[in-house]
């Protein structure tokens, strides 16, 4: 059973220059509707600019975030994951979150960042395609799963074309939706299934 909204810890959403705007919106919107506060975490508190040109002023600097204070760390994709080492501190933070038992959810290029940090060597995971991660030289190729999104313990991974599946796994992990309601939520937002909308209405989910 998930904690009540009054006692839930915040969800940390990493934000940095070139972040892929579209990859985490389903997850953060429905986490917020489920009672979770979303707090943005940047390299510093200086504004960053997304791939879509959105300027975001982070609520917190990464150095001020502690794993035990959060419910989840979300790492979006970004060009910087593949073009520099600027985001390596976020991968290291993910390792600290996982070691502390706090979940991490990584999508797109962030999965490559985790691979480079050795965090996928012993965990089932997915990404855009297997050879994208293989190019990092990581040792976890045998744990790669060809799926829309994968959860292994407290780690969620997904590729860039699967923001709805990514959100599905996050919502399941934090107990926002489950069972028939979670299935209906996914069918509504992934497949535009009108019957799924009726299920959500009946359950009082949005």
Q: Which residues are catalytic?
A: 108
How far is 168 from 31, CA to CA, in rounded Å? 11
Name residue, tokens 């579209």: 22
- Beta strands across the sheet bearing 11-14: 60-61, 38-42, 11-14, 72-75, 104-107, 155-158, 149-152
Would you state the structure tokens that stand for residue 191, as one six-digit string? 């497949």
Helices marked H in 11-136? 25-33, 80-83, 88-99, 109-116, 130-134
How far is 165 from 167, CA to CA, in rounded Å? 5
CB count in 10 Å sphere of residue 82: 16
């Amino acid at each position: 059973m998930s904690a009540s909204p009054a006692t839930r810890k915040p969800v940390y959403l990493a934000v940095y220059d070139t972040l892929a705007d579209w990859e985490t919106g389903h997850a953060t919107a429905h986490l917020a509707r489920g009672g979770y506060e979303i707090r943005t975490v940047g390299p510093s508190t200086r504004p960053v600019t997304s791939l879509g040109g959105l300027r975001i002023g982070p609520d917190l600097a990464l150095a001020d975030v502690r794993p035990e204070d959060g419910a989840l760390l979300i790492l979006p994709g970004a060009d910087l994951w593949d073009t520099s080492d600027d985001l390596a501190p976020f991968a290291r933070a993910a390792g600290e979150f996982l070691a502390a038992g706090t979940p991490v959810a990584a999508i797109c290029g962030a999965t490559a960042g985790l691979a480079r940090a050795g965090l996928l060597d012993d965990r089932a995971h997915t990404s855009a395609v297997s050879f994208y991660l293989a190019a990092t030289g990581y040792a976890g190729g045998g744990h790669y799963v060809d799926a829309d999104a994968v959860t292994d313990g407290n780690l969620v991974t997904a590729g860039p074309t699967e923001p709805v599946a990514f959100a599905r796994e996050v919502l399941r992990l934090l107990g926002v939706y489950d069972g028939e309601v979670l299935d209906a939520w996914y069918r509504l937002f992934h497949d535009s299934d009108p019957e799924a909308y009726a299920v959500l209405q009946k359950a009082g989910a949005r």
